[in-house]
Structure 1
Amino acid sequence: MPESDSILKDMGAATWSAEDGTAYEVALEGINHVVGALSRQIGEAESVGDADRVAELSEQQRSWAGRRRELSPADRAAVDALTTECADLLRALRGTT
Protein backbone atom coordinates (compact mmCIF):
# COMPACT_ATOMS: atom_id res chain seq x y z
CA MET A 1 0.00 0.00 0.00
CA PRO A 2 1.45 3.36 -0.91
CA GLU A 3 2.19 5.60 2.08
CA SER A 4 -0.34 8.16 0.84
CA ASP A 5 -3.10 5.55 1.27
CA SER A 6 -2.03 4.41 4.73
CA ILE A 7 -4.25 5.23 7.68
CA LEU A 8 -1.04 5.74 9.66
CA LYS A 9 0.43 8.44 7.42
CA ASP A 10 -0.62 11.35 9.66
CA MET A 11 -0.03 9.73 13.03
CA GLY A 12 3.48 10.97 13.74
CA ALA A 13 5.74 9.48 16.37
CA ALA A 14 4.41 8.01 19.60
CA THR A 15 4.91 10.12 22.68
CA TRP A 16 5.07 7.16 25.06
CA SER A 17 7.28 4.14 25.51
CA ALA A 18 6.37 0.51 24.91
CA GLU A 19 6.24 0.08 28.70
CA ASP A 20 3.80 3.00 28.96
CA GLY A 21 1.69 1.45 26.22
CA THR A 22 1.59 -1.87 28.05
CA ALA A 23 0.63 -0.17 31.32
CA TYR A 24 -2.14 1.63 29.44
CA GLU A 25 -3.47 -1.67 28.06
CA VAL A 26 -3.48 -3.13 31.58
CA ALA A 27 -5.44 -0.11 32.83
CA LEU A 28 -7.97 -0.50 30.01
CA GLU A 29 -8.41 -4.16 30.88
CA GLY A 30 -8.97 -3.20 34.52
CA ILE A 31 -11.66 -0.74 33.48
CA ASN A 32 -13.28 -3.42 31.33
CA HIS A 33 -13.41 -5.72 34.36
CA VAL A 34 -14.95 -2.98 36.51
CA VAL A 35 -17.59 -2.27 33.86
CA GLY A 36 -18.33 -6.00 33.66
CA ALA A 37 -18.60 -6.36 37.44
CA LEU A 38 -21.00 -3.42 37.51
CA SER A 39 -23.05 -5.08 34.74
CA ARG A 40 -23.43 -8.13 36.96
CA GLN A 41 -24.56 -5.97 39.86
CA ILE A 42 -26.99 -4.10 37.62
CA GLY A 43 -28.49 -7.42 36.57
CA GLU A 44 -28.85 -8.48 40.20
CA ALA A 45 -30.52 -5.17 41.11
CA GLU A 46 -32.87 -5.48 38.13
CA SER A 47 -33.84 -9.00 39.17
CA VAL A 48 -35.08 -7.74 42.55
CA GLY A 49 -36.68 -4.59 41.10
CA ASP A 50 -34.34 -2.10 42.81
CA ALA A 51 -34.61 0.76 40.30
CA ASP A 52 -32.64 3.20 42.47
CA ARG A 53 -29.71 0.79 42.72
CA VAL A 54 -29.88 0.13 38.96
CA ALA A 55 -29.69 3.88 38.30
CA GLU A 56 -26.77 4.31 40.72
CA LEU A 57 -24.80 1.42 39.27
CA SER A 58 -25.57 2.49 35.70
CA GLU A 59 -24.18 5.94 36.44
CA GLN A 60 -21.02 4.39 37.89
CA GLN A 61 -20.70 2.25 34.77
CA ARG A 62 -21.06 5.29 32.48
CA SER A 63 -18.45 7.11 34.55
CA TRP A 64 -15.96 4.28 34.16
CA ALA A 65 -16.61 4.11 30.42
CA GLY A 66 -15.92 7.85 30.22
CA ARG A 67 -12.69 7.42 32.14
CA ARG A 68 -11.67 4.75 29.63
CA ARG A 69 -12.20 7.19 26.76
CA GLU A 70 -10.25 9.97 28.51
CA LEU A 71 -7.23 7.90 29.55
CA SER A 72 -4.02 8.46 27.60
CA PRO A 73 -0.94 6.23 27.47
CA ALA A 74 1.12 9.43 27.58
CA ASP A 75 -0.09 10.13 31.15
CA ARG A 76 1.67 7.33 33.01
CA ALA A 77 0.80 8.67 36.48
CA ALA A 78 -2.92 8.64 35.63
CA VAL A 79 -2.60 5.18 34.08
CA ASP A 80 -0.91 3.78 37.19
CA ALA A 81 -3.40 5.46 39.53
CA LEU A 82 -6.34 4.12 37.55
CA THR A 83 -4.88 0.61 37.52
CA THR A 84 -4.57 0.71 41.30
CA GLU A 85 -8.09 2.11 41.67
CA CYS A 86 -9.49 -0.65 39.44
CA ALA A 87 -7.72 -3.36 41.43
CA ASP A 88 -8.97 -1.95 44.73
CA LEU A 89 -12.53 -1.62 43.46
CA LEU A 90 -12.56 -5.11 41.98
CA ARG A 91 -11.34 -6.57 45.27
CA ALA A 92 -14.13 -4.71 47.06
CA LEU A 93 -16.76 -5.83 44.55
CA ARG A 94 -15.59 -9.43 44.92
CA GLY A 95 -15.51 -9.13 48.70
CA THR A 96 -11.81 -10.00 48.91
CA THR A 97 -10.54 -6.87 50.68
Structure 2
Amino acid sequence: MSEPVIGNLPPYTWSSEESVAYEAAIEAINGVVGAYSGLITEAEERGSTDEVADLSRRRAACQQERRGLKADNTEEIARVRATYATRLRELTGNDA
Protein backbone atom coordinates (compact mmCIF):
# COMPACT_ATOMS: atom_id res chain seq x y z
CA MET A 1 0.00 0.00 0.00
CA SER A 2 1.34 3.45 -0.86
CA GLU A 3 1.88 6.18 1.70
CA PRO A 4 -0.39 9.26 1.58
CA VAL A 5 1.12 12.38 0.05
CA ILE A 6 0.77 14.26 3.31
CA GLY A 7 3.09 11.73 4.92
CA ASN A 8 5.93 13.05 2.75
CA LEU A 9 5.50 16.68 3.73
CA PRO A 10 8.08 18.15 6.10
CA PRO A 11 6.72 19.53 9.36
CA TYR A 12 6.17 23.27 9.63
CA THR A 13 5.92 24.94 13.00
CA TRP A 14 3.93 28.14 13.19
CA SER A 15 4.33 30.63 15.95
CA SER A 16 1.12 31.74 17.64
CA GLU A 17 1.55 35.15 16.03
CA GLU A 18 1.90 33.66 12.54
CA SER A 19 -1.13 31.43 12.87
CA VAL A 20 -3.30 34.22 14.29
CA ALA A 21 -2.19 36.67 11.59
CA TYR A 22 -2.86 34.13 8.82
CA GLU A 23 -6.33 33.32 10.15
CA ALA A 24 -7.08 37.04 10.53
CA ALA A 25 -6.05 37.62 6.90
CA ILE A 26 -8.31 34.80 5.72
CA GLU A 27 -11.20 36.19 7.77
CA ALA A 28 -10.59 39.68 6.38
CA ILE A 29 -10.88 38.34 2.84
CA ASN A 30 -13.95 36.30 3.80
CA GLY A 31 -15.61 39.45 5.14
CA VAL A 32 -15.07 41.25 1.86
CA VAL A 33 -16.28 38.24 -0.15
CA GLY A 34 -19.42 38.22 1.99
CA ALA A 35 -19.95 41.95 1.48
CA TYR A 36 -19.62 41.52 -2.28
CA SER A 37 -22.13 38.65 -2.15
CA GLY A 38 -24.64 40.90 -0.42
CA LEU A 39 -24.07 43.67 -2.94
CA ILE A 40 -24.45 41.19 -5.80
CA THR A 41 -27.81 40.09 -4.41
CA GLU A 42 -28.96 43.70 -4.18
CA ALA A 43 -27.81 44.41 -7.75
CA GLU A 44 -29.59 41.26 -8.99
CA GLU A 45 -32.80 42.42 -7.33
CA ARG A 46 -32.49 45.76 -9.15
CA GLY A 47 -31.79 43.96 -12.43
CA SER A 48 -28.42 45.68 -12.84
CA THR A 49 -26.54 43.09 -14.88
CA ASP A 50 -23.46 45.28 -15.44
CA GLU A 51 -23.11 45.89 -11.70
CA VAL A 52 -23.59 42.18 -10.98
CA ALA A 53 -20.82 41.34 -13.44
CA ASP A 54 -18.46 43.94 -11.96
CA LEU A 55 -19.12 42.89 -8.37
CA SER A 56 -18.79 39.21 -9.29
CA ARG A 57 -15.43 39.91 -10.91
CA ARG A 58 -14.24 41.73 -7.80
CA ARG A 59 -15.44 38.92 -5.54
CA ALA A 60 -13.66 36.33 -7.71
CA ALA A 61 -10.43 38.34 -7.45
CA CYS A 62 -10.71 38.23 -3.66
CA GLN A 63 -11.29 34.49 -3.74
CA GLN A 64 -8.25 34.06 -5.97
CA GLU A 65 -6.11 36.08 -3.57
CA ARG A 66 -7.38 33.97 -0.66
CA ARG A 67 -6.36 30.77 -2.46
CA GLY A 68 -2.89 32.16 -3.11
CA LEU A 69 -2.20 33.40 0.40
CA LYS A 70 0.75 31.61 2.01
CA ALA A 71 0.98 31.32 5.78
CA ASP A 72 4.72 31.95 5.82
CA ASN A 73 4.58 35.22 3.84
CA THR A 74 4.29 37.64 6.75
CA GLU A 75 4.57 40.78 4.63
CA GLU A 76 1.75 39.67 2.33
CA ILE A 77 -0.39 38.67 5.29
CA ALA A 78 0.06 42.10 6.85
CA ARG A 79 -0.82 43.78 3.54
CA VAL A 80 -3.92 41.63 3.09
CA ARG A 81 -5.15 42.33 6.61
CA ALA A 82 -4.81 46.09 6.19
CA THR A 83 -6.14 46.23 2.64
CA TYR A 84 -9.16 44.05 3.26
CA ALA A 85 -10.08 45.75 6.54
CA THR A 86 -10.18 49.06 4.68
CA ARG A 87 -12.12 47.57 1.77
CA LEU A 88 -14.70 46.04 4.11
CA ARG A 89 -15.27 49.40 5.79
CA GLU A 90 -15.70 51.00 2.35
CA LEU A 91 -18.15 48.35 1.17
CA THR A 92 -20.25 48.29 4.31
CA GLY A 93 -19.97 51.94 5.36
CA ASN A 94 -18.99 50.66 8.80
CA ASP A 95 -16.17 52.60 10.43
CA ALA A 96 -16.15 50.38 13.53
Taking the aligned partners of 2:20 and 2:4, their CA distance within structure 1 comes to 24
Q: CA RMSD in A?
A: 1.8
Structure 1 spans left out of the alignment, 5+ residues = none
Taking the aligned partners of 2:22 and 2:49, their CA distance within structure 1 comes to 34
Normalising by structure 1, we get a TM-score of 0.87
Taking the aligned partners of 1:83 and 1:10, their CA distance within structure 2 comes to 32
Normalising by structure 2, we get a TM-score of 0.87
Taking the aligned partners of 2:5 and 2:30, their CA distance within structure 1 comes to 27
Taking the aligned partners of 2:4 and 2:48, their CA distance within structure 1 comes to 50
Percentage of pairs with the same residue: 37
Matches within 5 A, 1:1-97: 8-14=6-12, 16-97=14-95
- How many residues align? The count is 94
Structure 2 spans left out of the alignment, 5+ residues = none
